[in-house]
């Protein structure tokens, strides 16, 4: 019975995701979508990946990271450099794109391990300090490495250009779905429960036999890998990369999305990433006051909703539809069983 219930919920979720993609395609094909919104679809999806991945570290794990743009930068330059170097060796654009995503995620994950293992062994704000330094070091190294090694590698402040543009909306949308699915599946598993217990009380978790350093590093590295994938997609969307793009304020921008959406809420991160990506462009006509209005909206939001749009609540549309259909058909369920299924 429980397996059938889970199958129905998953089927509804997949149907909703496919319907959203079809709806966007229809609106774009029929001309009911503005050129502004069309241009924002790919960066919106990229910021969704960045927000939900940082939410894994900041919201779900409870550790503050201030260098998410650094992992994005590592993935972007790694994927772009691989794509340019392998253009003749691997003529297939799809295969080159797939390998670039894997390599970009792997390199970002390696940096996550190097930073996470020593920092996450300690309690406190050490991770925030180290990731802040990491983000700035990566940007400075990529800016000046050519003059040090004497070879045109990243082209310094001039940036890496002529990157093949392979990030279409469909590909980026698939990456968003896969990223959300991975995080959702992990949080429903034993690993996810261990991560949540560490967030609530690390000392009690360690006393219960949970390997706190392992699970904290696991969540942090997964977050870094997803940021690396977002960086690869970002490089494939713009076609050029500049180290100055990945400044400290980029990390703060992603962090604001997580806080605004609600710490620990994946749906909240998705909604806030959508709002904060579209809102600045809608206010572009008020060029003199755009950032004032944008900042004021964030301040008002934090005053009236300090826990974010959704707090720590994650809305499940499939479960809500199933509940609605059960009530419509007059079915009743055991509240204890329903609560156990929702855990």
87-104 per-position pLDDT tens digit: 888 878 788 889 999 999
Residue 337 has pLDDT above 60, yes or no: no
Residue 75 has pLDDT above 90, yes or no: yes
Q: How confident is the model at residue 71 (pLDDT cuts 50, 70, 90)?
A: very high
Q: Rounded to whole angstroms, how far apart are CA atoms 295 and 139? A: 26
pLDDT digits (tens, 9 = 90+) for 248-267: 889 988 988 888 888 888 88
Higher pLDDT: 235 or 311? It is 235
CB 55 within 8 A of CB 266: yes
- Give percent above pLDDT 90 in the chain: 25
Mean pLDDT throughout 301-325?
64
pLDDT of 340: 46
pLDDT of 154: 74
Residue 241, beta-bridge partner list: 160
pLDDT of 57: 92
Q: Rounded to whole angstroms, how far apart are CA atoms 121 and 109? A: 18
Q: Rounded to whole angstroms, how far apart are CA atoms 69 and 333? A: 46
Residue 339 has pLDDT above 50, yes or no: no
Q: How confident is the model at residue 173 (pLDDT cuts 50, 70, 90)?
A: very high
Q: Rounded to whole angstroms, how far apart are CA atoms 193 and 202? A: 13
H helices of 150-247, in order, are: 169-187, 190-200, 202-207, 212-238
CB 219 within 8 A of CB 127: no
């Amino acid at each position: 019975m429980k397996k059938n219930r889970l199958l129905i919920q998953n089927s509804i979720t997949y149907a909703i995701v496919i319907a959203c993609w079809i709806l966007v395609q229809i609106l774009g094909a029929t001309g009911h979508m503005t050129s502004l919104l069309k241009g924002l679809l790919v960066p919106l999806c990229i910021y969704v990946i960045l927000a939900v991945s940082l939410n894994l570290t900041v919201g779900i794990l409870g550790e503050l990271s201030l260098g998410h743009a650094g992992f994005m930068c590592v993935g972007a330059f790694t994927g772009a450099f691989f794509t340019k170097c392998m253009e003749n060796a691997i003529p297939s654009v799809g295969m080159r794109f797939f390998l670039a995503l894997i390599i970009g995620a792997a390199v970002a994950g390696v940096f996550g391990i190097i930073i996470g293992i020593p920092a996450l062994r300690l309690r406190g704000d050490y991770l925030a300090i180290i990731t802040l330094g990491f983000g700035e070091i990566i940007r400075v190294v990529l800016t000046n490495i050519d003059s040090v090694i004497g070879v045109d590698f990243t082209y310094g402040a001039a940036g890496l250009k002529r990157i093949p543009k392979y990030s279409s909306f469909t590909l980026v949308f698939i990456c968003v779905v896969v990223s959300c699915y991975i995080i959702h599946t992990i949080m429903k598993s034993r690993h996810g429960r261990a991560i949540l217990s560490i967030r609530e009380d690390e000392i009690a978790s360690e006393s219960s036999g949970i390997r706190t350093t392992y699970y904290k590093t696991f969540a942090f590295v997964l977050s870094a890998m997803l940021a690396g994938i977002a960086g690869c997609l970002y490089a494939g969307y713009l076609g050029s990369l500049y180290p100055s793009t990945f400044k400290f304020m980029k990390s703060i921008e992603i962090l604001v999305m997580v806080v605004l959406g609600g710490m620990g809420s994946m749906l909240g991160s998705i909604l806030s990433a959508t709002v904060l990506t579209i809102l600045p462009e809608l206010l572009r006509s008020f060029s003199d006051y755009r950032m004032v209005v944008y900042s004021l909206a964030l301040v008002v939001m934090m005053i009236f909703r300090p826990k974010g749009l959704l707090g720590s609540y994650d809305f499940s549309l499939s479960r809500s539809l199933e509940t609605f259909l059960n009530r419509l058909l007059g079915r009743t369920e055991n509240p204890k069983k329903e609560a156990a299924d929702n855990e």
